Amino acid sequence: MNPFKRIAIAVLSAFGLAVHAQTESPQKSGADVMRELRLRALSAPAEHFGISPSRDFPRTYAVLIDFPINDQTATIVSFSDGSSSLYTTSTFGIIGGGAHEKVKLASQRLIVAADEFFERAEPTEEYPYPGKGKVCFYLVTFQGVRVLETALSDIESAQSELSSLFWAGQEVLTQLRLSTEKR
């Protein structure tokens, strides 16, 4: 097992997120592990994460934001319990940020903000990465996954109604970064 995978499994286990210790290929890259974690966040039922509907989170319990960084895609993942991570299509990621209070609060604010777009989001059972220059917002709900997509340029110029949601996700990312810098 490669060193990155060994570390990723240890970190994930420490934060209660399971990864298959046995994989189809002993040569699985860190990027493959990141993609699998993203897919699990989108497709596993809420019970898998120990989450159930609550007064604060009656519909949406997780949000994933896929956005471009050069030729790669980054995914911010936030759950209603405050668990937050960053996955990428490269080998970099930050996993388990919910142990930090500021990360937890930013994550929960993101989910509340995303739920305001519930009716506008389209139900989906497919989870592709966004096309070039696009941003996807996946709302993971107790009734299934819903998706919104917009151009990154529209977000950056504040022309998209989803700009505020994107920047709420960036606040999660900022808090994740700050929490890792403190270690």
Convert the pLDDT of each residue in 10-66 to its tens digit. 333 333 332 322 334 457 777 788 889 999 999 999 999 999 999 999 999 999 999
Q: Which long-range contacts (CB under 8 A, 24 or more apart) does 37-44 make?
A: 37/12, 37/77, 37/85, 37/87, 37/93, 37/95, 38/64, 38/75, 38/77, 38/87, 38/127, 39/127, 41/77, 41/79, 41/140, 42/127, 42/138, 42/140, 42/145, 43/127, 43/145
Instruction: Tell me which H or E stretch contains 35.
Output: helix 30-43
pLDDT digits (tens, 9 = 90+) for 84-101: 989 888 866 676 666 678
10, exposed or middle or buried, with CB in 10 Å at 0-12, 13-18, 19+? exposed
Phi, psi (deg, nearest 5) at residue 8? -60, -45
Distance CA 17, CA 95 (A): 9
Q: Tell me if 102 sits within 8 A of 172, measured CB to CB.
A: no
pTM of the model: 0.82
Residue 14 is predicted with a pLDDT of: 30
